[in-house]
Every structure is written in structure tokens, then in C-alpha cells.
Amino acid sequence: MGVSFRLRRPRVLLLCVLPVLALILVAALAPLPFTVAQPGTTANVLGSDKGQKVITISGAPQRRTSGQ
């Protein structure tokens, strides 16, 4: 019993560690489509641009905001 357990233990450990390492690798290298990976211009979405509101909402009640 002792010899059999000693031989199986590294295999079981390897079978547990390999999928975890694969998941970590995929998570680290997977592209995230909802993030910006490069610098760019910023916009004040609470204000207006060239006299027109940046965000318009129709069909719902609106409240004024002053931003932060």
C-alpha cells in the first residue's frame, strides 16, 4: 500500500496542477475587449461639445448634474 501511494501521489498532483497553470496562463494572456490598452483623448460627457450635448436621453425623466 505504501509503495503504490507514493507512486500515485506525483501523478495526482500533476493532474491537479496542470489545469490550474493552464487556466492562469489563459487568464493572463486572454485579450479583454472592453478595456483600452492604449492612451487616447478623454471627453467630458457631462458637458457639451461644440454646443451640443455629448449624451442625450429621450423617453425618460432627466435630472441636471454638476459633475464632480
User: pLDDT at position 49, please?
Assistant: 80
Contact present, 64 and 57 (Cβ < 8 Å) = no
Higher pLDDT, 6 or 54: 54
CA 43 distance to own-chain centroid: 22
Q: Where are the domains of the chain?
A: 1-31
Higher pLDDT, 66 or 37: 66
- State how far the alpha carbon of 23 is from the alpha carbons of 9, 11, 34, 36, 58, in Å: 22, 19, 20, 23, 44
pLDDT tens across 38-65, in order? Answer: 777 777 777 788 888 888 888 888 777 7
Helix (H) or strand (E) holding 21: helix 2-29
Contact present, 41 and 51 (Cβ < 8 Å) = no
